[in-house]
Amino acid sequence: MQDDTSAADILMGDVVRLEDVLSRESVTSVSKSFFALFGLPVRVISQEGDLLADVHRDRPLCNYVNTLSNGERECADTVGLVRDVEPNGQTIVHPCFTGAVYRIAPLAHQGRPIGRLIIGPYVPAETQGPPASLTSIDGSIHLPTAREHFDRMPRVREDIAEELSAHLKGVVELLVFSGHRAQLASTMQVASVRENYRELAEKNEALKTSYDELKQLDQLKSTFLATVSHELRTPLTSIIGYTEMLESGAAGALSDGQAEFLNTIRGKADQLLGLISSLLDLGRLEAKSLELHNEAVDPRALLSDVGSTIVPNANRRNVALDIKVAEGTPKIWGDPVRLQQIVLNLADNALKFTHEGGEVILGAEPGELDAEGPEGLGAALFAASRPAVVLTVRDSGMGIPEESLSRIFDAFYQIDAGTTRAHGGAGLGLSIVKQLVDGHDGTIEVTSALGEGTIFTVKLPAADDNA
């Protein structure tokens, strides 16, 4: 079926062609059972003149008249007329010169003619003997033969024939009705799917546009951050420089109070500088413009360095600090400065959220980075897994609620605004860690249990043995 036909169907629900809604098989099957029951031949013809069903048996009378030259001509004329006659909404009884008749009933659907059915030839039961039109059809006719064949024609009373044809018409029209229904349903189904698809495609397009706009805004934000941080850092460096000069006594001796105030200024300025540096890092990481100077890094040295940096803080807070490096842990392939930043950020965080008496453990062990691709499936198509170093930072702190786990690596995200004030920080640390790990082609995962603690697991590619 063509598309424009389906569109018209939907618009008006009309039957375009009988053949589209009435299968030849089903109408032939109905005609056959009609013929078997009543012995009456049936033909079903569409409005366009196509024969959809033709169930009949050659009658000896018909065969006989066709052997006569006049008979053959008359028979062809009659059959032609019967096939072409238009019943115009009324049943027509069309006579044949043999004395038989054809009953032609119109088929309609939703007030429109769609074809006709023809029952016959049969001889009305009321007819007495062969008519003159048969006996005088041809000079060579053998009357006893003609009479014998005439008597063997199927006979039906006209009132019964009328009922039979009305019944068959009803059955065929019902077939048309259900065929039309099925056709409309499938057309509607396809059209609805298309319409839904079109609607979804439009919505997807709109989503994509707003996503692109958001990405642009995000880009603007990064540029803005980078510019502002840079502009902030210059005067801040001066503030720190002059503070240091004052502290060193370059402008004269200081009283104890002055020294204490300067110390505070210095501390806060350092804190501010740290924040600004983080912002700059983030900007560079997001712009993918941070350069990594990779080399083979010894994990034990890395963890010890970080440990010695945070141990004073840990002692102050009465938190136990432990470092565990497993036997056979390979070296890491990475930028030593950035690796230290990763571990320090995680360790600082761990310490920050661990209560007095708790513990923080930094660990390293050999491991593997999973190959890309779906788990186990089609592994042959993907790179084999690579040797890796697994760094873990484990704490016995407050833990992270499950609903926050997916967002903790977002820049500026704080689990709740209250913790910012309680523990300080701008929510940049983990975002930077994530970007740095990504930059090293590594992975970072977090598991946490509320009230029991949190484990950050960083997998980084191992350096080649000979490195």
Partner 1 sequence: MQIDFAKKELTLKLVYYGPALSGKTTNLRAIHWLGTSSTCGELMTLETQNDRTLFFDMLPITVSSQSGLKIRLKLFTVPGQVMHNATRRLVLQATDGVAFIADSQRSEADSNRESFLNLKQNLEEIGIDPTRVPIIIQFNKRDMEDVRTDEELEAIAKQSREPIFKAVATRGYGVMQTLRGLVRETWDKLEEEHQLEKKFGISPVRFMNEIELNLKHNPGRRER
Positions in the binding site for partner 1 (CB under 8 A): 10-14, 109-112, 177, 180-181, 184-185, 188-189, 191-192, 195-196, 199
Compute the least distance from the CB of residue 183 to partner 1, in Å. Answer: 10
Q: Cα(106)–Cα(170) distance, rounded to whole angstroms? A: 11
Q: How far apart are the first and last CA of the chain?
A: 70
Judged by beta carbon, residue 111 or residue 418, the one nearer partner 1 is 111
Judged by beta carbon, residue 110 or residue 209, the one nearer partner 1 is 110
Compute the least distance from the CB of residue 13 to partner 1, in Å. Answer: 5
Q: Cα(238)–Cα(246) distance, rounded to whole angstroms? A: 12
Q: Cα(385)–Cα(383) distance, rounded to whole angstroms? A: 6
Q: Cα(4)–Cα(186) distance, rounded to whole angstroms? A: 15
Judged by beta carbon, residue 5 or residue 70, the one nearer partner 1 is 5
Compute the least distance from the CB of residue 8 to partner 1, in Å. Answer: 9
Cα 128 from chain centroid?
A: 75
Compute the least distance from the CB of residue 116 to partner 1, in Å. Answer: 17
| Amino acid present at 338 | R
Residue whose C-alpha is closest to residue 277's, from 67, 429, 114, 133: 429
Compute the least distance from the CB of residue 159 to partner 1, in Å. Answer: 22
Judged by beta carbon, residue 88 or residue 248, the one nearer partner 1 is 88
Instruction: Give me the count of residues in the chain.
Output: 467
Judged by beta carbon, residue 12 or residue 337, the one nearer partner 1 is 12
Q: At what angle do helices 429-439 and 336-352 cross, to 10 degrees?
A: 150
Q: What is the DSSP letter of 384?
A: P
Compute the least distance from the CB of residue 27 to partner 1, in Å. Answer: 18
Q: What share of the chain is helix, strand, coil (3-state, %, to 5)?
A: 50, 20, 30
Compute the least distance from the CB of residue 28 to partner 1, in Å. Answer: 24
Q: Cα(467)–Cα(461) distance, rounded to whole angstroms? A: 13
Judged by beta carbon, residue 112 or residue 142, the one nearer partner 1 is 112
